[in-house]
Amino acid sequence: MNFFSSIAATTLLMISSAIAETIQLDVRSDNVQLSGSGVVGLHEGAGSTYLFAVHGKYNSTNFEFDGNSLSIHEPDFNYQVSNTVGLLDLLITNSSTGFSFSDDGLLQLNGTSDKFYACSNSTVDPYHYSSNFGTFQLFYDYTPADIACANVELVKEVISQ
């Protein structure tokens, strides 16, 4: 009986460790300014950090993806990736957010990967990172009418399991 309990415990440990991954998100786009960028969280204040595409992967934020809760969070501050009124941001929250990855590593929200956008000169970026520092603010299923946006795919790069 102990032999079978050991096998069951080992199997469970392997399954749960395979579900939690440390990842970075890479940007893929037809827009040459965006393709090859990394995703970073830039602090906006009051427990909120907006996500941006920044040229050069050395800047990329390490995230943890939990396949059980379909959530992505930033482990240092335990901020969870969220979709707040179209903005992709990091918030202090414990709610599941419906993130997953396709077989080819594309980030999906609610089962789709084709509604992610990166926008320059964003009017909803209070510190003006997207207009003053050459970054692109990330959105889901929302593109502000008064700014330049491009469709992007966010691709998972596994750092460790």
Q: Give the C-alpha separation, 88 to 116, whole Å.
A: 9
Q: Give the C-alpha separation, 80 to 90, whole Å.
A: 5
Q: What is the pLDDT of residue 4?
A: 42
Q: What is the pLDDT of residue 58?
A: 62
- What's the pLDDT band for 95 if we cut at 50, 70, 90? low
Topology classification of domain 20-160: Trefoil (Acidic Fibroblast Growth Factor, subunit A) (2.80.10)
On the question of pLDDT at 148 being above 90, the answer is no
pTM over 0.85: no
Q: Give the C-alpha separation, 119 to 110, whole Å.
A: 21
On the question of pLDDT at 128 being above 90, the answer is no
- What's the pLDDT band for 23 if we cut at 50, 70, 90? very high
Q: Give the C-alpha separation, 120 to 130, whole Å.
A: 5
**Radius of gyration for the alpha carbons in the chain, expressed in angstroms and rounded:** 17
- What's the pLDDT band for 82 if we cut at 50, 70, 90? confident
- What's the pLDDT band for 98 if we cut at 50, 70, 90? confident
Q: Of 62, 57, 67, which Cα lies nearest the Cα of 27? A: 57
Q: Give the C-alpha separation, 141 to 40, whole Å.
A: 19
Give domain limits for the chain. Answer: 20-160
